[in-house]
């Protein structure tokens, strides 16, 4: 079971969700979402930033849940062995809205339109000076880890954000893309020989292809969103896990614009 983040906000809720899932699946892999990293005013656990992340990693380890800090697993399925690489990459505001050139301009535009992610109030980067500094440190750490993997095996990335900009192009509020990733990972799916990138965050469950690599948005979303989703072809009912490997036949047949 691959979890692409945002399983909860309060520490006790996250623990309940991970404990429940780890009792029902033999292996659970978790990558943090922005909601787990919030220091919510109602949460008795008031740790911020890196300290909160480390507490979440400790929680996962106590439950046997695999995190981005653990050795990568190799999944040996009928299509061959693949490395499962959960990532914690965050974002650095480089997915700029159209017409702006800097992070400051992008944020000014967002505040002007009222489309501002609550991360600005609740996701603290401590001890880093900024969320983008934390993001860049995470990128460097992940690159070191990925360099040590078996290069002969393809990779399944599990990251809260899509690693590339393209999936954010259909956001209803384009200003929100600033909180959805970093341009610094734009080639990781090719560079690290990914077979699939599993991500969430956008609440737009779908499969897209980029450079012959499948990108699967697996978010369950909020109940208020489910009514609209039922009309989308190929999107399973809420709560039904998406199948990543073996690759579902229907998904193999739709590599829009990609090689295979």
Closest distance of CB 92 from Fe ion, Å? 15
Closest distance of CB 5 from Fe ion, Å? 6
Of 33 and 205, nearer to Fe ion (C-beta) is: 33
Closest distance of CB 179 from Fe ion, Å? 8
Residues 151-183 as b or e (16 or more Cβ within 10 Å = b): eebbbbbbbbbbbbbebbeebeebbbbbbbbbe
Instruction: Report the C-alpha gap between 35 and 5 in whole angstroms.
Output: 8
Handedness of CA 62, 63, 68, 72 (dihedral sign): positive
- Pair of tokens at residue 95: 């997915």
Closest distance of CB 74 from Fe ion, Å? 28
DSSP helix/strand/coil, 182: coil
Of 189 and 201, nearer to Fe ion (C-beta) is: 201
Tokens 């029902």 map to which residue? 24
Of 6 and 9, nearer to Fe ion (C-beta) is: 6
Closest distance of CB 34 from Fe ion, Å? 4
Closest distance of CB 33 from Fe ion, Å? 4
Of 131 and 195, nearer to Fe ion (C-beta) is: 131
Of 82 and 216, nearer to Fe ion (C-beta) is: 216
Of 75 and 176, nearer to Fe ion (C-beta) is: 176
The site for Fe ion (CB under 5 A) is made up of 6, 33-34, 201
| 99 secondary structure, DSSP code | T
| Cβ proximity of 38 and 118 under 8 Å | yes
Quick one: which of 49, 29, 32 has its CA closest to 160? 32
Instruction: Report the C-alpha gap between 148 and 143 in whole angstroms.
Output: 9
Residue of closest CB approach to Fe ion: 201
């Amino acid at each position: 079971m691959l979890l692409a983040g945002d399983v909860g906000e309060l520490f006790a809720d996250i623990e309940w969700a991970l404990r429940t899932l780890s009792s029902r699946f033999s292996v659970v892999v978790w990558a943090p979402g922005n909601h787990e990293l919030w220091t919510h005013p109602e949460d008795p656990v008031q740790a911020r930033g890196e300290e909160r992340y480390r507490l979440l990693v400790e929680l996962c380890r106590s439950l046997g849940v695999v995190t981005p800090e653990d050795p990568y697993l190799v999944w040996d399925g009928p299509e061959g062995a693949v490395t499962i690489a959960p990532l914690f990459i965050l974002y650095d505001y480089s997915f700029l809205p159209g017409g702006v050139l800097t992070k400051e301009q992008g944020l000014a535009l967002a505040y002007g339109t009222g489309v501002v992610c609550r991360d600005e109030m609740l996701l603290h980067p401590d001890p880093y000076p900024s969320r983008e500094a934390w993001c860049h440190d995470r990128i460097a750490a992940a690159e070191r880890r990925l360099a040590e993997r078996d290069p002969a095996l393809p990779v399944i990335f599990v990251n809260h954000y899509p690693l590339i900009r393209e999936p954010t192009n259909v956001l209803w509020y384009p200003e929100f893309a600033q909180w959805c990733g970093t341009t610094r990972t734009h080639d990781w799916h090719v560079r690290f020989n990914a077979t699939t990138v599993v991500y969430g965050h956008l609440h737009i469950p779908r499969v897209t292809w980029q450079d012959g690599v499948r990108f699967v948005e697996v978010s369950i979303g909020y109940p208020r969103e489910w009514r609209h989703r039922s009309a989308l072809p190929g999107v399973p009912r809420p709560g039904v896990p998406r199948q990543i490997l073996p690759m579902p036949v229907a998904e193999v047949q739709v590599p829009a614009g990609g090689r295979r």
